Structures are given as structure tokens and as C-alpha cells.
Chain A
Amino acid sequence: MKLNDEEQAMLAGEMGETLRWAIDHQRQVGTFFDAPDMVPVTQAHIMADPESLGTAGADFVEQLAARSDRVRIPTITDPRGIDFSHADRLGQTAAMQQLERRIIGGLEKLGVLMTNTCINYQTILPPLRGEHLAMGDTGVTIYCNSVLGARTNFEGGPSALAAGLTGRTPRYGYHLESGRRGTLRVAVEAQPQGPAEWGALGGVVGRIAGSYWSVPVIDGLCDPPGSDALKHFGAALASFGSVAMFHIPGVTAECQRIEDAFDGPPPEPARVTAADLAALIKGDAADGEKVDVVVFSAPQLSLYELAAVAGLLDGKRVHRDTTLLVATSPENKSGADRMGLTARIEASGAILLEGVCFYQSYARELAEANGWKRLMTNSAKLLNIISGYGYLPTLGSTESCVASAVAGRIVR
């Protein structure tokens, strides 16, 4: 892997231990993936929730922060694990909160902007086509690559932090034109409606694609989807399949016609039907069973999604044996406060969480502290993740999630 003079100086330790660590980490990853060199990036986005870092990760961040180096490009954060205004009520312990404060303090010293969001492409600064990035959330990565035409790999927390410090990242995968070409075609014979169905489509296509290095080209969708639809589709596709990019002819940035996406004639498609989507949604339906917690999260909600939830909750009360959690970004929370959405949501007894995401919030310990087992959500991504934390998840529409939270049992 070729390093320029500045990168060689970093690696030799001539620019300090922090940059030596950062460029060496990037060199190891780049060499593993046969990157020819580094590419400058304009933004970095760090996933750094306390459950993932643990004490070892917090120690590492604090060690970097104790030195003088700071990030050299705009570097922002993915959702955090704790909303301090609700932590005690949810049973997040003092030790969890202390660890979270240590990580926040370290990142702030490093010059990181604490945006605490996985929808930065909707709320902070959407990148432009061709812009090279180091994005540290799979949903953010797939949206930026596909919908916006920017260029980024999945950058885990340490790598995104390294990119923020060096201002570059190894040039492989989705930074290369050759990595962005379609590898399979999927013909969709159903028109998804709402977050759960768009997420289910992402889940079904993700199972077909099945690899980070696959780029599915989605054919057959009738209506142009909006940003929230593609947010749920991409997040589920990335979660179920580890996929980092897709094309939809006439919708995504690099594909006006299906022929644009392939080198050569488009291949015969795999077909996805309405029955395939219904099967994923039905899954563990558990109709009529008690629901312990209903979660709107993963990804965080847009203002429009918050308004929809508020409208469904108007005049209703969440059942006393059920908890309804709604998670959004700090920017959207501020807007929701100002526009009266927070008051409408919380009047029902629901909890509106700011700057966190459910599965990044010590989900296993939350279940133990609150006696939660049966979880309902409109997020296919959360459905895919959360069973490993001991939950029994059910996927449903936004409307059925709210109805279930009010009834205290699964209503579909």
C-alpha cells in the first residue's frame, strides 16, 4: 500500500503517537483489502456507544484525548447509549452512565461534534455525489453510497476515529468505481407501504444478496419512495445482508436506467413477491400476546415520522403494563419540542428519547431491569438485531405498533 510523505511521517511517529496509531490502523486494514493508497475524506462519523466500547474502549478514547491531537475534518457521532434525562427511569445504572460520560468527555476533547445521530444525512449535512467519507453506521453508509452517490465503506468506531484524525481512509471497496457496479438484479413484484414493509423488502433483498461485496439493483418499484422509506429499506438491507450499496433505476444517484448499473446486459432477476414481504413481517407474529415494550428506533425517527406517531397517539394512553419508546436525533428532538410533538407523544405516557438508539442502549440490561421480553417495532433492522439480546421481537406497521402499545398486547 503506497503512503505519501505525510503518511510515512505519521507512520514513523514524527507527528506523534496518536497519528502513528491512526495511520498504522488504517494501513493494516488497507493492506488486508489490497487498497492501493489513501483517499482524503470530508466527514467522519463515529459509532461509539458504551456497551460496545466497554471500559477498554473508554480507556482508549481517554488516552487519545489526553494528548494534543484533534480531529482535522468534521467528525460526528452515531447515537449514544444513554439519554441521561430518562436513564434512571429505564434502569440504566450509575456505572453505565459514568462510562457514557467518560466516552463523551474523551470524544469532545478530541474535537468530535456530538451529533448523536444515525440520520445525519437527513439532519446534519447530506454529502454530495462523489464525496469520499468515513461513515460509521451501516444505515448511514448505505444511504450515502446509494441515494446520494457519495463514497464510503463501513467504518467501525476505531477506523472512523482514525479517519477523523488523519483526514483520510484506505481506498478500497466503495471508494472505487469498480466496487460500485451492480452484482445482482432483484425484481420486486410488490409495492411496499410504510416503514415496516420497506424494511421487510430490505430484509428479503439482504438475505438474497448476503454479502458486503454484493450490490443489488432493485427493479420493478412503481412509486418513487421518499427519504424515510429508503432509510428503512437501506438500514434493513445493510443489517440482514451486510450490504453497503444498492441501485434503484430512476431513484438512486448513479442509476438512471437499469443498464447503467451493470457492466454488460442486466442479469436475470431474483424475484421478490408480496408473499415474501408478508412472510418476513409475519415471522413471530404473536397476535394477542402481551407486549412488554414497543420501540420506534433503528433508525432514529425523522420529524415526519414523529408527527405521524404523535397523530396516532393523540387522545390515547399507553397501556400501564407496556412501555412505548420513541428515539430521535437531538436536532429533531429540539424541533419536536418547539412544534409541540414531544408534548403530544409524552401526553400518552410514551417516552421520547433523544440522541440514542434502542439496541445501542444496553438492550440486554434494559430487558432484565424492566422485565421486558416481547418487543414490537416497525423497524426490520431492529427485528433482525434484537433477538440476540434475549427479546422475542414482532414486526408491525407504525399504526399496529401504536395500537399494540395502547392495548398492551399485539394488535395487527
Chain B
Amino acid sequence: MSDILRCHPGIGPAVRGIALVAADDFSARYDLDRLKGVFSRPGHKLFGQAYHGRILVLNNAKGGVATAWMLREMAARGIVPAALLFNRVNPILAQGAAFAGVALLDRFETDVTQRIPNGAELLVEPAEGRVTIVSVPA
């Protein structure tokens, strides 16, 4: 049985994919090795994990403005998350998602990092402000 989460309408296309979840914050410059496609900041809860094609589910946006350019650069090289789900973002993540055409949603009714299990299959529909948990890992 599917499970639906509601939030503020977002940016970008509808996508389907597998969630990579952590109660941690995010900046493409601070946290990623974009050439290898992994989280590279030692203190990050997703350190060492690959993000390509995954739906990142995280808490807040960190400082720094580089993500606004970097998401498009990552998309152009084909090593980019499928979508971004946050409790709350700053303008940079929204600007970067709009520039890159990457799906972005925030302002959920609940703590999204606690609500979505790591590895769950999700259907993300930004225009509707809706995320469907299609299935969860056994």
C-alpha cells in the first residue's frame, strides 16, 4: 500500500527512484566529490556513499552559493541526484534546481528524514507538492 507525503509545491520534473536518507545538511561544494560522485566530507552521515540517480532526503541546506551552478554541471556530466527532498532549503538549492532542471521539494508536514526509510522507492511530483512512498526495503 502506498504512503503519501504532502509539502509545498516544488521545482522540476516528476521522477521515480530510490531514497538515500540522512538527518544531515547539504552543500554540493562542502560535501561532495563531484568527479567521483560520492559524499566526500568526513563528518557527513552519507560519507563515502554514491549519490548518482538517488533521491537525496536531507535536513537543511548549508551555506555556500556554488550549488546553484554545480547541479547543472553535475547533470551535464550525468552524475547527479534524481531529486532533492529537504525539510527546508535556502535560495541556493532552489536556484540550482531551477537552473539544472532537477526536482526539488521542501516544507513537508513532518520531518522528511525520519518519515522516509533509506532505500525506499519514491515517486516525486513537484508540481503537486507530493511524494509517494511506493515501496520500502524488506
Which residues of A does B touch, CB under 8 Å? 25, 28-29, 31-33, 47-49, 51-57, 60, 136-138, 153-159, 173, 206, 210-213, 238-244, 359-360, 364, 384-385, 387-390
Contact = CB atoms under 8 A, between A and B. Distances in A.
B92 A55 contact: no
Given A32-B94, A212-B90, A385-B30, A157 B64 contact: no
B65 interface: yes
B66 interface: yes
B69 A159 contact: no
B12 to A, nearest CB: 9
B69 A213 contact: no
Nearest to A159: B95
B72 A56 contact: yes
Contacts of A32: 8-11, 94, 98, 104
A404 to B, nearest CB: 22
A28 B31 CA distance: 26
Contacts of B32: 388
Q: Please report whether the interface of chain B is mostly helix, strand, loop or mixed according to DSSP.
A: mixed
A354 to B, nearest CB: 21
Contact of B67 (A137, A156, A360): A156
Interface stretch (B14-22, B38-46, B116-124, B130-138): B38-46
A390 B95 contact: no
Given A29-B98, A53-B69, A211-B60, 10 more contacts: A29-B95, A54-B70, A56-B76, A157-B68, A157-B69, A158-B72, A239-B64, A240-B63, A360-B66, A388-B30
A138 B42 contact: no
A55 B77 CA distance: 9
B76 A54 contact: yes
Query: Which residue of A32, A55, A138 has the most chain B CB atoms within 10 A of its CB atom?
Result: A32
A28 to B, nearest CB: 4
A54 B8 CA distance: 31
Given A241-B63, A385-B30, A388-B41, A57 B69 contact: yes
Given A32-B10, A239-B63, A385-B64, A52 B69 contact: yes
Nearest to A240: B63
B68 A242 contact: no
B111 interface: no
B68 A138 contact: no
A259 to B, nearest CB: 28
B77 A52 contact: no
A33 to B, nearest CB: 7
Contacts of A238: 63
A359 to B, nearest CB: 8
Contacts of A240: 63
Contacts of B33: 364, 388
Given A52-B69, A52-B70, A53-B73, A213 B91 contact: no
B52 interface: no
23 contacts: A25-B95, A28-B11, A51-B66, A54-B69, A55-B76, A56-B75, A138-B63, A138-B64, A154-B90, A156-B65, A156-B67, A156-B68, A157-B65, A159-B68, A210-B25, A211-B88, A239-B62, A240-B63, A242-B60, A242-B63, A360-B66, A385-B30, A385-B64
Query: Which residue of B10, B33, B66 has the most chain A CB atoms within 10 A of its CB atom?
Result: B66
A242 B40 contact: no
B81 interface: no
A272 to B, nearest CB: 19
A210 B25 CA distance: 9
B29 interface: yes
B82 interface: no
